[in-house]
Amino acid sequence: MSRLLLVSLLAVAAAAPSSVSPQNEALFTEEIPEPQYLFENHNPDVTDSGLELFESDMVLTEEQKLDRKAAPNLWPGGQVKYAITSTSVPDRAAIEAALNHWRQHTCVTFTEVSASFAGEPHLRFSKQSGCWSYVGRTGWTSGQDVSIGTGCTGLGTIAHEVGHALGFNHEQSRPDRNNYVTILTGNIQDGRSGNFAIASNANNYSVPYDYTSVMHYGSTYFTKNGQPTIQVNQLQYSGLIGSRTGLSHRDKQLANAMYSCAASCSSPPACQNGGYVSKACSCVCPPGTSGSRCQTVTAPYYGSICGNQAITSAGTVSSINWPSIYPRNQNCFWIVTAPAGRRVRITFNTAKVLYRYSDGNCYWDWINLYTNSDNSADVNACGSELQGKTYTTTGNRLALEMHTYAGGSYPSLQTGFTASVSFV
């Protein structure tokens, strides 16, 4: 069960003292869930049973440690038995919701057995330290553990661990990942660089790389200084990685390919543009496509990015819906390009988003500024830290990124920003 922070004056003062004044004490009475990040990527090096964790939440068999290859050890026929042990009974509803999510979108079946079952390989859900799983089917008739520890009960988090149990590696460990992301090794916690290794033998079944995969690390996983450890090569897609809202289209596509879901269809359709054949023997089309076979492309896979990426005139830039509260679960970009030979200057007249956490990081809301014409943020801020501040670029491009919390709206803390932009 997730721990909660009571946003009282004392709690907020501890997390971000510069953003709270005594006269506003009455405003800070809302509850904000503690960052899921703290539970997802700060697992210990070993499980409660002394098993070594690989890439933070996977336990590998000895054979897998040698070749890093998980895909071959699938569940025959996509049939998976599972048991919910006594420690996970309080989390049954969350576990069942995640299994139903997999059932709905794939041909994999999940059949519950008793906690004492030991007749054939199966999953054993238990509440241990952290969120972790073995990768693929181990073959042990006594069952293989899937730990749903404290803070691990979100739909996407359990779906992520079940994904490992079905044979999924992390998305950013794919052999082609360097075409899409850059690993910033200087920001990774000491001794954690192995979490960002490439699985050279992984089989991706021709499914394209997916920033929105539920199996992808977030941008600051295992950071030692609050700065990104993973940098998306296409800046405007930076906010897509680390999603834990559920399976992406390509996650579903990969699972259906791994488990040959179309094989049960007598005459499966030839889906186009990244569509796949569902267990109902019809095409499931990716975002931005339509038609019975996904033959019509109407938009990019990732859709449009909120904000404005084509600003070429001086003026005002404001958060979405300003002066009303900005929408939840958004990652918006504003890109300002000055005439050749000139620089961009931005002054924040108002800036107020959810505050910096007590460990010094911005987990819920944040605003990043890119002032050096590269894809590394030069300023990472939250709370009211940008209010009244002015920044000038070194070149003729300014990028402003605003990430908003998915879990709830807090009007007293989330009034957004408005800023003046000029060319100098």
* Structural domains in the chain (count): 4
Of the candidates 54, 81, 57, which has an alpha carbon nearest to the alpha carbon of residue 139? 81
- 154 and 44 inside one domain: yes
Query: Are residue 275 and residue 360 in the same domain, yes or no?
Result: no
Higher pLDDT, 407 or 74: 74
Same domain? 333 vs 361: yes
Nearest to 130 by CA among 146, 147, 153, 144: 147
User: Is the pLDDT assigned to residue 11 strictly greater than 60?
Assistant: no
Shared domain for 342 and 413, answered yes or no, is: yes
In a domain, 280, yes or no: yes
* Token couple for 142: 């006594």
**CA distances, 290 to each of 17, 207, 283 (Å):** 50, 19, 10
Domain harbouring 285, CATH code: 2.10.25
375 and 330 fall within a common domain: yes
Q: What is the mean pLDDT of residues 40-68?
A: 56
User: Which CATH number fits the domain that encloses residue 389?
Assistant: 2.60.120.290
Q: What is the CA radius of gyration of the chain?
A: 23
Give dist(CA 54, CA 359) in Å, integer. 25
- Which of 122, 147, 164 lies at the terminal end of a domain, its last residue? 164
Average pLDDT, the chain: 85
Q: How far apart are CA 142 and CA 128, in angstroms?
A: 17
More confident position, 326 or 64: 326
- Length, in residues, of the chain: 424
Same domain, yes or no: 51 and 156: yes
Catalytic residue chosen out of the listed positions 55, 161, 171, 401: 161
Tell whether 415 and 313 lie within a shared domain. Answer: yes
Distance, C-alpha 14 to centroid of its chain: 27
* Residue 290, domain extent: 260-297
- Indicate whether 113 and 85 sit together in one domain: yes
Q: In sequence order, what DSSP letters do the residues of 147-174 get, joined into one string?
A: EE-TT--SHHHHHHHHHHHHT---GGGS
Nearest to 352 by CA among 311, 314, 381, 321: 381
pLDDT bracket for residue 69 (50, 70, 90): very low
For residues 37 and 220, the answer to whether their CB atoms sit within 8 Å is yes
In this structure, the answer to whether residues 357 and 280 fall within a common structural domain is no
126-161: pLDDT as tens digits? 999 889 999 999 999 999 999 999 989 999 999 999
Tokens of 152: 């691990």
Q: Are residues 283 and 377 both part of a single domain?
A: no
Q: Is 40 a catalytic residue?
A: no
**pLDDT reading at 67 higher than 60:** no
Q: Which of 164, 179, 207 is at the close of a domain? A: 164
- Confirm whether 192 is domain-assigned: no
